[in-house]
Amino acid sequence: MAQISEAQVLDALVGIIDPRSGGNLVESDMISGLAIKDNMVQFSLEIGDPALAEEMEPLRKKAETAVGEIPGVLSVTAILTAERPRAQAQNTAPQKQQKQPGKGAAKITHIIAVASGKGGVGKSTTSVNIALALKARGLEVGMLDADVYGPSMPRMLGVQGRPDSADGKTLDPKESNGIKVMSMGFMVEEDQPVVWRGPMVMGALQQMLNDVNWGKLDVLVVDMPPGTGDAQLTMAQSVPLAGAVIVSTPQDIALLDARKGLNMFRKTDVPVLGIVENMSYFLCPKCGEQSDIFGHGGARDEAAKLGCDFLGEIPLHMDIRTTSDSGTPIVVSQPDSAHAQAYKAIAEKVWQKLSGETASGRAAPNIVMS
C-alpha cells in the first residue's frame, strides 16, 4: 500500500471552505499538527475561540470525511483546537486560571486525578479499581482515560466501539460495571499510535471532558498520563479538580518522580489527597514468604516527608494483573479478596476526604477554637 503524503491531505482540505472567512482551510492557516503514520491521519483545526467549538463541529466532520476519502487512508482523526494569542498567553501566565467545568461536566460533584511521575507503576490499574470501589460504595462514578498516548481503559474495563452521539455534538460515554467511561481508545484502533503534539492533546482532553454527556456523577476519576507535561498541566490548570491521588512504587527512583508530580499539583492549587504504594511487596503463593522486590514502605515515608496522607499499599500479585488484562478488574471479579478490600479501603479514604464524611458515615464535626 502506497504511503499517504501530506500533500494529498492538504489537497483534500483545500476543498473545504471555512464559512466565517470564506477561504479554504489550508489558505486560512487552520490546519496544524498534521501527522501521518501507516496511512492513519491526524490533524487539528485551529478555530481561535473555544466558544466557536459547537459552531465549527460540522466543519471538523467535513474535513475528516474529505481526508477519509483519499484512497489508502485507513483512519482519520481531526480535533478542534483553540489556542490563545502568544501575547495574551505571556500576559496571563503568572495569573491563576479560573477553573470552571464545561457543559458536559456541569453535573459532576468531584473530579479527581490519579497520577504518577513515571510510567510502569500501575497507575491505570489503581485508577480503575478505585473507580470501581467507589461505585461499589453506592456512588455514581465516571472514568476518564486521559492517557491519550496509551489509553488502557477499553481493555481494562472490557468495553470497545466508538461512542454514540444522539445530537451530533456531544458523545455518550460507554458503560462498564455501572460506571461511565470515555477514552481515546474508543476513537482509534488498539494498535494505532496517537502521534500528536501538545495542543492537539490538550484539545482532545478538553473535548473528552466537556463534550461528553457525563450526566450527574458523584465522582469522575481521571486516569492521568504519566509525567508532568502538557496533558497534566491542562488538567491541573483548566479543570476544577477536587484532588489528586499519587501512585508510586516503593523504590527511590519512582518516589523521586512521584514527588515531582505531587509538587506540580500543589503549584497549581490542586489538593493532594494522598499517596498509594503500588507493588508494595510480593507474597509467594507457595511458601507465603514476603519479598520486597521494589523495597517496601518508601511511599509511606515519602508521604510523611511531604506532609500528605498515605492512603494504603497494594501488593504485586498475579491476580491483579490478570483480571485487569481480561477486562474484569479485581474489585468486581473478586470483590471479597484481600486485594479488592485494599482498593476499597483506599477508595473509602478518598471519599472521606472529598465528602467530609468519617468512617461512620457522619460528617466530621467542626472544631472551633475560642
Helices 230-238 and 198-210: crossing angle in degrees, nearest 10, is 40
Return the C-alpha cell found at 113: 486525578
Count Cα atoms within 13 angstroms, Cβ side, for 168: 8
Please tell me the predicted confidence (pLDDT) of residue 101: 61
Given the C-alpha cell 476518564, which residue does it identify?
Answer: 144
Residue 362's pLDDT is what?
46
CB 241 within 8 A of CB 113: yes
Which long-range contacts link 332-336 to residues 24+ away (Cβ below 8 Å)? 332/132, 332/136, 332/177, 335/136
Q: How many CA atoms lie within 13 Å of 296's alpha carbon, on the beta-carbon side?
A: 11
Cβ atoms of 193 and 89 within 8 Å: the answer is: no
Where do the domains of the chain lie, and which CATH numbers do they carry? 8-84 (3.30.300.130), 103-354 (3.40.50.300)
Averaged over successive runs of 10 residues, the pLDDT of the chain (370 residues) comes to: 85 91 89 81 80 82 91 82 46 44 80 86 94 97 89 93 83 95 84 64 80 95 80 75 91 74 84 91 75 77 88 91 93 94 96 79 40
Cut 0.85: pTM above it: no
